[in-house]
A and B are shown apart, each in its own frame.
Chain A
Amino acid sequence: MEKRLRLVAPALAIVLAAIASLAFAEIPLSQRRSGYEQMSREVKAMQDDDTSNPASLSVLDGEALWTRREGSAQKSCADCHHDAETSMRGVSARYPAFDAAKRRPLDIEQRINLCRTEKQQATPLPFESRDLLALTAYLGKQSRGMPIAVISDDDTKPFIEAGRQIYARRQGQLNLSCQNCHDDNAGQKLAGVELPQGHPTGYPLYRLEWQSLGSLQRRLRNCLFGMRAEPYAYGADEYVDLELFLMWRARGMTVETPAVRP
Protein backbone atom coordinates (compact mmCIF):
# COMPACT_ATOMS: atom_id res chain seq x y z
CA MET A 1 0.00 0.00 0.00
CA GLU A 2 2.72 2.36 1.04
CA LYS A 3 4.73 1.46 -2.04
CA ARG A 4 1.77 2.13 -4.28
CA LEU A 5 1.24 5.53 -2.71
CA ARG A 6 4.82 6.41 -3.33
CA LEU A 7 4.31 5.67 -6.98
CA VAL A 8 0.99 7.44 -7.19
CA ALA A 9 2.10 10.64 -5.45
CA PRO A 10 4.48 11.90 -8.15
CA ALA A 11 2.03 10.94 -10.85
CA LEU A 12 -0.68 12.84 -9.04
CA ALA A 13 1.60 15.85 -8.71
CA ILE A 14 2.20 15.82 -12.46
CA VAL A 15 -1.53 15.60 -13.16
CA LEU A 16 -2.25 18.43 -10.75
CA ALA A 17 0.46 20.56 -12.29
CA ALA A 18 -1.01 19.87 -15.72
CA ILE A 19 -4.47 20.88 -14.52
CA ALA A 20 -3.05 24.03 -12.97
CA SER A 21 -1.35 24.97 -16.21
CA LEU A 22 -4.49 24.23 -18.21
CA ALA A 23 -6.52 26.32 -15.81
CA PHE A 24 -4.36 29.31 -16.63
CA ALA A 25 -6.15 31.75 -18.81
CA GLU A 26 -5.54 35.43 -19.05
CA ILE A 27 -8.19 37.55 -17.42
CA PRO A 28 -10.38 38.95 -20.22
CA LEU A 29 -9.70 42.67 -20.70
CA SER A 30 -13.23 43.62 -19.69
CA GLN A 31 -12.99 41.69 -16.42
CA ARG A 32 -9.83 43.33 -15.14
CA ARG A 33 -10.21 45.20 -11.87
CA SER A 34 -7.87 47.52 -10.07
CA GLY A 35 -7.00 46.56 -6.50
CA TYR A 36 -8.70 49.86 -5.61
CA GLU A 37 -12.09 48.24 -6.10
CA GLN A 38 -11.32 45.65 -3.42
CA MET A 39 -10.39 48.23 -0.79
CA SER A 40 -12.50 49.33 2.13
CA ARG A 41 -14.38 52.62 2.09
CA GLU A 42 -11.80 54.11 4.47
CA VAL A 43 -8.76 53.24 2.35
CA LYS A 44 -10.47 54.39 -0.86
CA ALA A 45 -11.16 57.72 0.85
CA MET A 46 -7.50 57.97 1.81
CA GLN A 47 -6.45 57.63 -1.84
CA ASP A 48 -9.14 59.91 -3.25
CA ASP A 49 -8.43 63.00 -1.17
CA ASP A 50 -5.01 64.54 -1.74
CA THR A 51 -4.74 65.98 1.78
CA SER A 52 -5.53 62.60 3.26
CA ASN A 53 -3.28 60.61 0.89
CA PRO A 54 0.13 60.35 2.59
CA ALA A 55 1.77 59.92 -0.83
CA SER A 56 0.91 63.56 -1.55
CA LEU A 57 3.83 64.52 0.70
CA SER A 58 6.20 62.70 -1.67
CA VAL A 59 4.58 64.33 -4.70
CA LEU A 60 5.40 67.70 -3.11
CA ASP A 61 8.97 66.53 -2.45
CA GLY A 62 9.21 65.47 -6.10
CA GLU A 63 7.94 68.84 -7.27
CA ALA A 64 10.71 70.52 -5.27
CA LEU A 65 13.34 68.10 -6.63
CA TRP A 66 12.21 68.77 -10.20
CA THR A 67 13.66 72.28 -10.07
CA ARG A 68 16.72 71.52 -7.93
CA ARG A 69 20.04 71.78 -9.78
CA GLU A 70 22.01 68.56 -9.46
CA GLY A 71 25.40 67.08 -10.32
CA SER A 72 28.47 68.67 -11.84
CA ALA A 73 26.35 69.87 -14.78
CA GLN A 74 24.26 71.85 -12.29
CA LYS A 75 21.13 71.16 -14.25
CA SER A 76 17.66 70.57 -12.90
CA CYS A 77 15.04 68.36 -14.51
CA ALA A 78 13.11 71.52 -15.29
CA ASP A 79 16.08 73.04 -17.16
CA CYS A 80 15.52 70.48 -19.93
CA HIS A 81 11.93 69.34 -19.46
CA HIS A 82 10.41 72.63 -18.26
CA ASP A 83 6.95 72.35 -16.77
CA ALA A 84 6.38 68.73 -15.76
CA GLU A 85 2.62 69.20 -15.87
CA THR A 86 2.82 69.46 -19.64
CA SER A 87 6.09 67.74 -20.58
CA MET A 88 5.59 64.71 -18.33
CA ARG A 89 1.91 64.21 -18.96
CA GLY A 90 1.33 60.57 -19.84
CA VAL A 91 5.03 59.66 -19.65
CA SER A 92 4.87 57.29 -16.66
CA ALA A 93 1.91 55.54 -18.28
CA ARG A 94 4.26 54.45 -21.09
CA TYR A 95 6.99 52.99 -18.86
CA PRO A 96 8.90 50.67 -18.88
CA ALA A 97 9.89 51.90 -22.33
CA PHE A 98 12.53 50.72 -24.81
CA ASP A 99 15.87 52.49 -24.74
CA ALA A 100 17.72 52.22 -28.03
CA ALA A 101 21.17 52.72 -26.51
CA LYS A 102 20.68 50.09 -23.80
CA ARG A 103 18.82 47.83 -26.27
CA ARG A 104 16.28 46.96 -23.61
CA PRO A 105 13.38 48.48 -21.73
CA LEU A 106 14.03 50.76 -18.77
CA ASP A 107 11.60 51.47 -16.00
CA ILE A 108 10.88 55.04 -14.93
CA GLU A 109 13.37 54.79 -12.03
CA GLN A 110 16.15 53.73 -14.40
CA ARG A 111 15.15 56.44 -16.86
CA ILE A 112 15.45 59.10 -14.15
CA ASN A 113 18.83 57.75 -13.14
CA LEU A 114 19.99 57.77 -16.76
CA CYS A 115 19.13 61.46 -16.89
CA ARG A 116 21.02 61.96 -13.64
CA THR A 117 24.20 60.22 -14.75
CA GLU A 118 24.26 61.40 -18.38
CA LYS A 119 22.66 64.85 -18.32
CA GLN A 120 23.13 66.07 -14.77
CA GLN A 121 26.48 64.32 -14.23
CA ALA A 122 25.15 63.25 -10.85
CA THR A 123 25.21 59.96 -8.97
CA PRO A 124 22.20 57.70 -9.54
CA LEU A 125 19.60 57.69 -6.78
CA PRO A 126 19.34 54.36 -4.93
CA PHE A 127 16.16 52.32 -5.45
CA GLU A 128 13.56 53.05 -2.75
CA SER A 129 15.41 56.19 -1.66
CA ARG A 130 13.19 59.04 -0.59
CA ASP A 131 14.27 61.21 -3.54
CA LEU A 132 13.75 58.57 -6.23
CA LEU A 133 10.32 57.68 -4.83
CA ALA A 134 9.46 61.37 -4.70
CA LEU A 135 10.45 61.95 -8.32
CA THR A 136 8.60 58.87 -9.58
CA ALA A 137 5.54 59.86 -7.55
CA TYR A 138 5.65 63.37 -9.00
CA LEU A 139 6.04 62.05 -12.54
CA GLY A 140 3.39 59.39 -11.99
CA LYS A 141 0.95 62.02 -10.78
CA GLN A 142 1.24 63.72 -14.19
CA SER A 143 -0.33 60.59 -15.73
CA ARG A 144 -3.05 60.19 -13.14
CA GLY A 145 -6.36 59.40 -14.81
CA MET A 146 -4.74 58.46 -18.12
CA PRO A 147 -4.76 54.95 -19.60
CA ILE A 148 -1.71 52.73 -19.20
CA ALA A 149 -0.07 52.71 -22.61
CA VAL A 150 3.19 50.75 -22.70
CA ILE A 151 4.29 50.11 -26.25
CA SER A 152 4.18 46.62 -27.68
CA ASP A 153 6.29 46.52 -30.85
CA ASP A 154 9.18 44.58 -32.33
CA ASP A 155 11.59 46.14 -29.83
CA THR A 156 9.59 45.45 -26.69
CA LYS A 157 7.78 42.20 -27.55
CA PRO A 158 10.69 39.91 -26.59
CA PHE A 159 10.84 41.61 -23.19
CA ILE A 160 7.09 41.44 -22.63
CA GLU A 161 7.39 37.74 -23.43
CA ALA A 162 10.33 37.36 -21.01
CA GLY A 163 8.22 39.03 -18.34
CA ARG A 164 5.34 36.70 -19.09
CA GLN A 165 7.67 33.71 -18.67
CA ILE A 166 8.76 34.91 -15.23
CA TYR A 167 5.13 35.59 -14.33
CA ALA A 168 4.14 32.04 -15.28
CA ARG A 169 7.16 30.26 -13.84
CA ARG A 170 6.74 28.37 -10.57
CA GLN A 171 9.46 29.28 -8.14
CA GLY A 172 10.43 29.31 -4.48
CA GLN A 173 9.86 26.82 -1.71
CA LEU A 174 6.07 27.11 -2.12
CA ASN A 175 6.44 26.31 -5.83
CA LEU A 176 4.08 29.11 -6.82
CA SER A 177 3.97 31.32 -9.87
CA CYS A 178 2.60 34.85 -9.99
CA GLN A 179 -0.32 33.61 -12.07
CA ASN A 180 -1.32 31.00 -9.48
CA CYS A 181 -2.47 33.83 -7.23
CA HIS A 182 -3.23 36.73 -9.55
CA ASP A 183 -4.95 34.97 -12.47
CA ASP A 184 -6.10 31.55 -11.30
CA ASN A 185 -7.19 32.59 -7.81
CA ALA A 186 -7.73 36.34 -8.00
CA GLY A 187 -10.73 37.28 -5.88
CA GLN A 188 -10.26 34.25 -3.60
CA LYS A 189 -9.17 34.68 0.00
CA LEU A 190 -5.63 34.05 1.15
CA ALA A 191 -5.34 34.28 4.94
CA GLY A 192 -8.32 36.59 5.17
CA VAL A 193 -7.15 38.86 2.38
CA GLU A 194 -8.76 38.97 -1.04
CA LEU A 195 -6.17 38.29 -3.72
CA PRO A 196 -5.97 41.16 -6.20
CA GLN A 197 -5.47 40.65 -9.93
CA GLY A 198 -2.13 42.37 -9.54
CA HIS A 199 -2.39 45.29 -11.92
CA PRO A 200 0.28 47.92 -11.23
CA THR A 201 -2.04 50.90 -11.73
CA GLY A 202 -0.83 53.15 -8.93
CA TYR A 203 2.93 52.87 -8.40
CA PRO A 204 4.77 54.21 -6.61
CA LEU A 205 2.11 53.79 -3.95
CA TYR A 206 1.63 54.20 -0.23
CA ARG A 207 1.11 50.85 1.47
CA LEU A 208 -0.43 50.96 4.89
CA GLU A 209 1.66 47.93 5.82
CA TRP A 210 4.89 49.70 4.82
CA GLN A 211 3.76 53.01 6.29
CA SER A 212 5.62 54.54 3.39
CA LEU A 213 5.74 54.90 -0.36
CA GLY A 214 7.25 52.04 -2.33
CA SER A 215 7.97 51.10 -5.93
CA LEU A 216 6.56 48.23 -7.97
CA GLN A 217 9.93 46.48 -7.58
CA ARG A 218 9.54 46.59 -3.81
CA ARG A 219 6.09 45.03 -4.19
CA LEU A 220 7.45 42.31 -6.48
CA ARG A 221 10.23 41.63 -3.99
CA ASN A 222 7.55 41.39 -1.32
CA CYS A 223 5.64 38.80 -3.40
CA LEU A 224 8.78 36.74 -4.05
CA PHE A 225 9.51 36.77 -0.34
CA GLY A 226 5.97 35.54 0.30
CA MET A 227 6.52 32.73 -2.20
CA ARG A 228 9.74 31.84 -0.36
CA ALA A 229 11.64 32.58 -3.56
CA GLU A 230 14.94 34.40 -3.87
CA PRO A 231 14.21 38.05 -4.72
CA TYR A 232 16.17 39.60 -7.58
CA ALA A 233 18.48 42.51 -6.88
CA TYR A 234 16.85 45.94 -7.26
CA GLY A 235 17.14 47.08 -10.86
CA ALA A 236 17.55 43.51 -12.20
CA ASP A 237 16.41 42.91 -15.79
CA GLU A 238 13.95 40.31 -14.49
CA TYR A 239 12.09 42.95 -12.50
CA VAL A 240 11.95 45.36 -15.43
CA ASP A 241 10.69 42.61 -17.77
CA LEU A 242 8.04 41.71 -15.19
CA GLU A 243 7.08 45.36 -14.78
CA LEU A 244 6.75 45.70 -18.55
CA PHE A 245 4.62 42.55 -18.81
CA LEU A 246 2.41 43.65 -15.92
CA MET A 247 1.91 47.11 -17.40
CA TRP A 248 1.10 45.54 -20.77
CA ARG A 249 -1.34 43.19 -19.01
CA ALA A 250 -2.92 46.31 -17.44
CA ARG A 251 -2.95 48.24 -20.74
CA GLY A 252 -5.81 50.68 -20.97
CA MET A 253 -6.46 50.65 -17.25
CA THR A 254 -6.38 54.01 -15.48
CA VAL A 255 -3.24 55.30 -13.77
CA GLU A 256 -3.98 56.00 -10.09
CA THR A 257 -0.52 57.18 -9.03
CA PRO A 258 0.08 57.85 -6.23
CA ALA A 259 -2.30 55.15 -5.00
CA VAL A 260 -2.91 53.81 -1.50
CA ARG A 261 -3.13 50.08 -0.78
CA PRO A 262 -3.52 48.08 2.44
Chain B
Amino acid sequence: MTARALINVPRKAKRGDVIEIKTLISHVMESGFRTGTNGKTIPRDIITSFACTYNGEEIFATQFYPAVAANPFVTFYTIATDNGTLAFTWIGDNGFEVTQEAKIVVE
Protein backbone atom coordinates (compact mmCIF):
# COMPACT_ATOMS: atom_id res chain seq x y z
CA MET B 1 0.00 0.00 0.00
CA THR B 2 1.25 3.46 -0.81
CA ALA B 3 2.09 6.12 1.74
CA ARG B 4 -0.84 7.92 3.21
CA ALA B 5 -0.85 11.57 4.20
CA LEU B 6 -3.28 13.53 6.28
CA ILE B 7 -3.43 17.32 5.98
CA ASN B 8 -5.44 19.75 8.02
CA VAL B 9 -5.89 23.19 6.45
CA PRO B 10 -8.89 25.35 7.34
CA ARG B 11 -11.34 25.30 4.44
CA LYS B 12 -12.14 28.96 4.88
CA ALA B 13 -10.17 31.84 6.32
CA LYS B 14 -10.25 35.61 6.41
CA ARG B 15 -7.60 37.41 4.38
CA GLY B 16 -4.65 38.13 6.62
CA ASP B 17 -5.49 35.45 9.18
CA VAL B 18 -2.59 33.39 10.47
CA ILE B 19 -3.74 29.81 9.93
CA GLU B 20 -2.37 26.60 11.41
CA ILE B 21 -1.49 23.76 9.06
CA LYS B 22 -1.04 20.22 10.35
CA THR B 23 0.49 17.41 8.34
CA LEU B 24 0.97 13.73 9.02
CA ILE B 25 2.40 11.08 6.70
CA SER B 26 2.95 7.34 7.07
CA HIS B 27 6.64 6.48 6.91
CA VAL B 28 8.85 4.18 9.02
CA MET B 29 11.72 6.70 9.18
CA GLU B 30 14.23 3.86 9.52
CA SER B 31 17.17 5.68 11.06
CA GLY B 32 20.02 3.64 9.61
CA PHE B 33 21.40 3.22 13.12
CA ARG B 34 19.47 0.13 14.16
CA THR B 35 20.71 -3.42 14.02
CA GLY B 36 18.39 -6.16 12.78
CA THR B 37 18.02 -9.62 14.31
CA ASN B 38 20.62 -10.87 11.79
CA GLY B 39 23.23 -8.54 13.31
CA LYS B 40 23.35 -6.31 10.24
CA THR B 41 22.57 -2.62 10.21
CA ILE B 42 19.13 -1.89 8.81
CA PRO B 43 19.72 0.57 5.93
CA ARG B 44 18.50 4.12 6.30
CA ASP B 45 15.09 4.83 4.80
CA ILE B 46 13.82 8.26 5.76
CA ILE B 47 11.96 11.23 4.37
CA THR B 48 14.64 13.85 3.77
CA SER B 49 12.60 16.90 2.90
CA PHE B 50 9.13 18.33 3.18
CA ALA B 51 7.92 21.55 1.62
CA CYS B 52 4.68 23.45 1.13
CA THR B 53 3.73 25.83 -1.67
CA TYR B 54 0.78 28.23 -1.68
CA ASN B 55 -0.44 28.92 -5.21
CA GLY B 56 2.96 27.82 -6.45
CA GLU B 57 5.09 29.91 -4.13
CA GLU B 58 7.08 28.08 -1.51
CA ILE B 59 6.06 29.14 1.99
CA PHE B 60 7.70 26.50 4.15
CA ALA B 61 10.49 23.95 3.75
CA THR B 62 12.17 21.50 6.07
CA GLN B 63 14.99 19.04 6.03
CA PHE B 64 14.43 15.87 8.09
CA TYR B 65 17.13 13.82 9.77
CA PRO B 66 16.84 10.31 11.26
CA ALA B 67 15.89 11.96 14.58
CA VAL B 68 12.43 12.77 13.21
CA ALA B 69 10.01 10.18 14.61
CA ALA B 70 8.21 7.59 12.47
CA ASN B 71 5.08 8.86 10.69
CA PRO B 72 6.35 12.44 10.58
CA PHE B 73 4.02 15.06 11.95
CA VAL B 74 4.69 18.75 11.29
CA THR B 75 2.57 21.77 12.09
CA PHE B 76 3.34 25.30 10.97
CA TYR B 77 1.59 28.58 10.24
CA THR B 78 0.96 30.73 7.22
CA ILE B 79 -0.98 33.88 6.41
CA ALA B 80 -4.13 33.28 4.38
CA THR B 81 -3.50 35.50 1.34
CA ASP B 82 -5.68 34.26 -1.52
CA ASN B 83 -8.07 31.55 -2.63
CA GLY B 84 -6.14 28.68 -3.96
CA THR B 85 -4.18 25.53 -3.44
CA LEU B 86 -1.59 24.48 -0.93
CA ALA B 87 0.62 21.66 -2.18
CA PHE B 88 2.64 19.51 0.17
CA THR B 89 5.56 17.40 -1.03
CA TRP B 90 7.55 14.85 0.90
CA ILE B 91 10.74 13.48 -0.68
CA GLY B 92 12.86 10.70 0.75
CA ASP B 93 15.25 7.79 0.32
CA ASN B 94 14.60 5.06 -2.25
CA GLY B 95 12.68 7.35 -4.57
CA PHE B 96 10.01 8.24 -2.05
CA GLU B 97 7.89 11.15 -3.25
CA VAL B 98 4.36 12.08 -2.25
CA THR B 99 2.45 15.22 -3.13
CA GLN B 100 -0.94 16.10 -1.75
CA GLU B 101 -3.02 19.24 -2.12
CA ALA B 102 -5.55 21.15 -0.08
CA LYS B 103 -7.84 23.97 -1.17
CA ILE B 104 -8.52 27.11 0.78
CA VAL B 105 -11.17 29.79 0.36
CA VAL B 106 -10.05 33.24 1.52
CA GLU B 107 -12.66 35.91 2.06
Contacts and interface: CB of A to CB of B under 8 A. Distances in A.
A and B touching (Cβ–Cβ under 8 A): yes
B49 interface: no
Q: Is the interface of B mostly helix, strand, loop or mixed?
A: strand
Nearest to B75: A52
B79 interface: no
B4 A60 contact: yes
Q: Could you say which interface size class chain A belongs to? A: 10 to 19
Interface residues of B, number: 18
Contacts of A30: none
Interface string B52-90: 000000000000000001110101000000000000000
Contacts of A54: 24, 26, 70-71, 73
Contacts, number: 40
A261 interface: no
B2 to A, nearest CB: 10
Interface in A205-241: 211-212
A92 interface: no
Interface of B: 1, 4-8, 22-26, 28-29, 69-71, 73, 75
Interface of A: 49-52, 54, 56-57, 60-61, 64, 130-131, 211-212
Closest 10 CB pairs of A and B: A211-B70, A51-B8, A54-B71, A51-B22, A57-B26, A57-B4, A60-B4, A51-B6, A56-B6, A51-B24
